[in-house]
Structure 1
Amino acid sequence: MQTQKITSIELGRLIAIFVVVAMHCQMFLTYFLYQDTPWVGLIFNQSTRFAVPLFFLISGYLIQPKLTAAPMETLNSYCAPLIRVFLVWSVICLLMPFNLQTVVTEGYLVERSGYWGYLAQAPINSMLEGGLVHLWFIPALMFAALISAVLIKADKVRLLLPIAIVLYVYGVLAGSYQNITELWTPFFTRNGPFFSTLMFTIGFMIRQKNIQATALQGALMALVGMALHFTEAYLLVEYEQSFNSNDFLFGTMLWGTGVFLFLLAKPNLGNSPWVSNLSKSVLPIYVAHLPIIIVMMNVTGALQLTGPAKDAAVLSGTILLTLLLVKGIEKTPLNRWLFR
């Protein structure tokens, strides 16, 4: 069993979290237009879609030894803090106003009631996303761990990969491909177990079976997966699927897996103190960054910033304020409640 941290994985987690932050800043969408379409922004958006799959892959890889040895005990200890973080940040996001101008002109309850009403229109989906859309990652991760633990406990681990593949295929066909397939779905398939389970399982299997690849093989797999993802996204535009609304496609699985295998093949990549220090804060940065983006959107709106100036201000301000918030809270007793 490996006990020493693989620094390349820690670096990968850091790159992924800042890629997610940049994507949520909605950059390049009002300029660099081609025939009134912000293709630079749309391409940038989709170029970030390896990041969340990488989080799931790393989670499955890291938890495999403990989950195999003591599935239910590990599940309980793994999910308990995640549930707490999910609930606490859901409450924070439900109470936090998104439009400060509306609060000033019409009042807090008017501003919040619109958002609360929006969430109430799809209660199951809202439960899986929590108080703000980015929190969907936490329940999805817990679903993947739960399915894995139950199958391991029942001595049916051989069923894990087939079940995960079925969930993933259904998730894609009932998600981005829904305009073609017209498959029914109880909620937005990015949420829940549909995509997280396969990515988690692949990471789990790579560790369990000691699967290895060279850096070149990992990079080639990532490039093939990325090309397939972009091809799918482009072709789906013909079926009224927005180019930048694809979280997971069939190629995304190969893309994320290739990036992960590349990182495993370069275990000493990122071997520096700042990587070790910041990598401990990946989950805190994840849960805290979107509320900070909302604050920065209000600030840039009040300053009437537009175009590249707005994007630069939102991105830099979000990174700076999020790191200050996270590192500050980590030094207080609130850390246990807010950040696991």
Structure 2
Amino acid sequence: MTYKRITSFESGRLIALLAIIGLHSQVFMKTPLIFGEPIVGMFLNQMSRFAVPLFFIIAGYFYYPKLVASKSKEDVFAKYAKPLIIMWLSWSVVFLIIPFNFSILLSDGYLAERSNHWNNLLANPLNTLFEGSLVHLWYIPALICAIGIITLLHKYRLDNLLLPVGFILFIYGCAAGSYVPITNIEAPILTRNGPFFSTLFVVLGYEIHRRQIALNTKLSLIIASIGFSVFLIEANYLYFFANGAFYHDFLFSSPIWAVGIFLFLQEKSNFGEQLKPTTFSKDILGIYLCHLLIVIYFFNLVFMLNINPILSSFLALPFAFIISFLFVKLLRKLPFGYLLVR
């Protein structure tokens, strides 16, 4: 069963991808400094935190019709999860083998450079199981966990438990994640990984489709603005008053922020059509999976060529996006490319 691509959702995915690449590129995180802090970089960093929640919500929104249209719920899940697992395993192998640090590679050799990475992964094997061999790969196991929970509850006609289960996992994820300085709750893995956050966001997309929820543009933007404002308040509180970090993947306000953006995109179906987002639609996941390696290599070049940090901040995002896009196109032409891109 296929579904027509909606321009606004494809635009949202493209903008979210650019936000993630910008976040990983550490844009303006070294300079300029204001009152001794990279205020511009810190703000841009936090602005990008809508991206992964939006990806999850969109995934849940489009998973709903696939699931309800099929008699075999297990088949739907297997068809959805199999290519994701193959890509996750394939990229994990790639990132285990390919060196990251050119300086160490040239001075100490391949094994010395790779052993640092391998030892870091082995230091916390359970977390690595839910993450993969490079940090950003956590998205795929998290998505599969969420889809699996939804499929199981739907199969046994327990859809009304989806939101309670999602909220329970989310609250625990926050309590044992960003709010640890206050709660002192310890989790066996980093709660960003696995089902703790992903489940609620995927369920929200699923439920928006199931319940046919829609809001007008103005109200959607108000919800998104409130969510983002509270997110900043939470981040500043944890940083200045709770001895915590300033940078957070998810906070209690994340669902409000992400749902507001999603509902806006749902209402404005032609949003972003000037970006020609369908040009990149089928490559979004592939770009996401390879982009961090390109960013790492960009950092190597910045270090080796001693590029000005402000200049590197301007160059990082377009460099990583364009090279990743071309790399994905190349992978599609290779015999083994199906293992790495959809």
Q: What TM bracket, shorter-length normalisation?
A: over 0.9
Residue 309 of structure 2 aligns with which residue? 307
Residue 333 of structure 2 aligns with which residue? 331
Residue 14 of structure 1 aligns with which residue? 14
Partner SS, residue 298 of structure 1: helix
Distance 1:13 1:260 in 2: 10
Distance 2:329 2:314 in 1: 22
TM-fit CA distance, 1:274: 3.0
TM-fit CA distance, 1:316: 2.6
Residue 242 of structure 1 aligns with which residue? 245
Distance 2:162 2:152 in 1: 10
Residue 186 of structure 2 aligns with which residue? 184
Residue 115 of structure 1 aligns with which residue? 117
Q: Work out whether residues 90 and 339 of structure 2, in 8 Å CA contact, stay in contact via their aligned partners in 1.
A: yes
Distance 1:98 1:183 in 2: 34
In structure 1, what residue type is equivalent to 2:29? L
Residue 292 of structure 2 aligns with which residue? 290
Residue 156 of structure 2 aligns with which residue? 154
TM-fit CA distance, 1:265: 0.3
TM-fit CA distance, 1:231: 0.3
Q: TM-score, normalised by structure 1?
A: 0.97
Aligned length: 339
Gap change, CA 1:131 and 1:2, over 3 Å in 2: closer
In structure 1, what residue type is equivalent to 2:242? Y
Distance 1:203 1:281 in 2: 22
Partner SS, residue 236 of structure 1: helix
Q: What are the Cα deviations for residues 265-322 of structure 1, in whole angstroms up to 9, with x where unaligned?
A: 0012233683112111110010010000011111111111132112223323212211
Deviating more after overlay: 57-66 vs 266-275: 266-275
Gap change, CA 1:4 and 1:24, over 3 Å in 2: same
Partner SS, residue 129 of structure 1: coil
Residue 40 of structure 2 aligns with which residue? 40
Distance 2:191 2:218 in 1: 32
Distance 1:79 1:300 in 2: 37
Q: Work out whether residues 300 and 314 of structure 1, in 8 Å CA contact, stay in contact via their aligned partners in 2.
A: no
Paired residues for 1:111-150 under 5 Å: 111-150=113-152
TM-fit CA distance, 1:2: 9.0
Distance 1:269 1:313 in 2: 27
Residue 106 of structure 1 aligns with which residue? 108
Distance 2:163 2:318 in 1: 40
Q: What are the Cα deviations for residues 48-74 of structure 1, in whole angstroms up to 9, with x where unaligned?
A: 000000000000001101112332111
TM-fit CA distance, 1:127: 1.3
Distance 2:284 2:323 in 1: 15
Unaligned runs of at least 5 residues, structure 1: none
Partner SS, residue 90 of structure 1: helix
TM-fit CA distance, 1:37: 1.7
Residue 264 of structure 2 aligns with which residue? 262
In structure 2, what residue type is equivalent to 1:15? I
Residue 55 of structure 2 aligns with which residue? 55
Distance 2:189 2:87 in 1: 22
Residue 24 of structure 1 aligns with which residue? 24
1:68 aligns with 2:72: no
Distance 1:81 1:322 in 2: 20
Deviating more after overlay: 320-329 vs 177-186: 320-329
Partner SS, residue 195 of structure 2: coil
- RMSD, aligned α-carbons: 1.4
TM-fit CA distance, 1:327: 1.8
Residue 98 of structure 2 aligns with which residue? 96
Distance 2:8 2:317 in 1: 25
Gap change, CA 1:35 and 1:338, over 3 Å in 2: same
TM-fit CA distance, 1:330: 2.3
Distance 2:63 2:130 in 1: 23
Q: Work out whether residues 22 and 316 of structure 2, in 8 Å CA contact, stay in contact via their aligned partners in 1.
A: no
Gap change, CA 1:73 and 1:309, over 3 Å in 2: same
Partner SS, residue 74 of structure 1: helix
Q: Percent identity at matched positions? A: 40
Residue 317 of structure 1 aligns with which residue? 319
Q: Work out whether residues 300 and 313 of structure 1, in 8 Å CA contact, stay in contact via their aligned partners in 2.
A: no
Partner SS, residue 290 of structure 1: helix
Distance 2:332 2:219 in 1: 39
Distance 1:259 1:2 in 2: 24
Residue 279 of structure 2 aligns with which residue? 277
Q: Work out whether residues 130 and 141 of structure 2, in 8 Å CA contact, stay in contact via their aligned partners in 1.
A: yes
Deviating more after overlay: 10-19 vs 314-323: 314-323
Gap change, CA 1:328 and 1:273, over 3 Å in 2: farther
Q: TM-score, normalised by structure 2?
A: 0.96
